[in-house]
Structure 1
Amino acid sequence: MPSLREAQKQLTRDRIVERALKLFTEKGYAATTIDEIAAAAGTTRVTFYAYYPSRYDLMRDFMARVNAVLDRENGPGLASTAPELVDVVRAGKLSGILDWLESRAALWPDFRPYLDVLDEAAAVDREVRALLKDWREEVISDLIRGMQLAGRFSEETHHVRGMLAFTQLNYISTLWTSRRFDPNRDEALGVLAESWYHLLCDED
């Protein structure tokens, strides 16, 4: 059980992240200053830097929160960061793919805003760009692992298949964030599931 001091530190960290997310969403990543974030969080610039020595450290926390929501393991060198996704691809069932996509779509309100900020930050910050690229490659590697375990498709096509599948999912979830197709989410997920099935599972 965390000590009172540790709990207070976590509350401060959470407050900084929440206010930063709101400001980045409203004003944009580049236009938001550290002073504005600190003031919105009810703290000081000095306190902000005690928790986050740089904007990059704040973005790393954003990414950690995305992984926590998605129940993805942190850390390079793991055999898989999301075993459930590997299993779904290996099984190769359209119904299983759709169920997995729907379970992730239910979490979009919790993690997609963080990813949107990370995408925007990546456009102006090389370190964040590398962070986001590594995360995307982790997701793609899980898709690849599922195909490998199933002995499906040639190795030469695995990465492009995984990349296309991830890009499709990212695009659909980005559209949802911008509220361009919220009423048609189920239809979009159905189409996406069929596309994933043909890309990752169907060799006929």
Structure 2
Amino acid sequence: MNIDVINLGPMDNCIYLVSEGQDALLIDPAWDMNFLEHTLQEKGLRLLAVFFTHGHFDHVKFAQDLLEKHRLKGYMEKNDVILSGIDAHMLNAYSGEQTFDVGPFRVEIIPTPGHTAGGVCIKIGNALFTGDTLFPGACGRVDLPSSDPREMRRSLVKLSKLPEDTQIFAGHSYGGKCSSTIGYERVKNPFMRNAIRDAEAL
């Protein structure tokens, strides 16, 4: 499995192109659909599905154009459908933990509310696409509509229980870095450390 990190937009977004052979998935495509189309064509890839970690505009901007062109429905947790602004008929809305088999990919959905009510992390093999839930050294904002700091703490504790070698790929390259491992974040990320500490104190 190959993972291409595509940085687009004014907010340091990390868009992920996951491929196996000629089959591909896009995670959180936004901002420049022409560039994404060119990348798919240049690599000779067939887009099978689009997944969203959450519905904030900077992770979905212009994505409906891509879905319509490829005659696909995107996958999004139901609580973020309205937030996204994407027409509901263009989305496969789901709830809770899910596993989707798409071509050669087994896509596991881990609900991680906190940044938004419908925030999820997307696990494919040993790669975990964390959107705005978990960043290297940080976590997503919890002062926005539909955010919840208690839910964020619970989500961080949940992620901390994944295998240490799980590779994380965040939704933004804040500080120039978008990837890390669960093991590293468990030790070095103050937000995850504090969430674990609070959970253990209960």
Q: TM-score, normalised by structure 1?
A: 0.30
Write 1 or 2 for the structure with the bigger share of strand.
2
Q: Find the structure with the greater CA-based Rg.
A: 1
Q: TM-score, normalised by structure 2?
A: 0.30
Question: Higher relative CO (CA 8 A, sep ≥ 6), structure 1 or 2?
Answer: 1
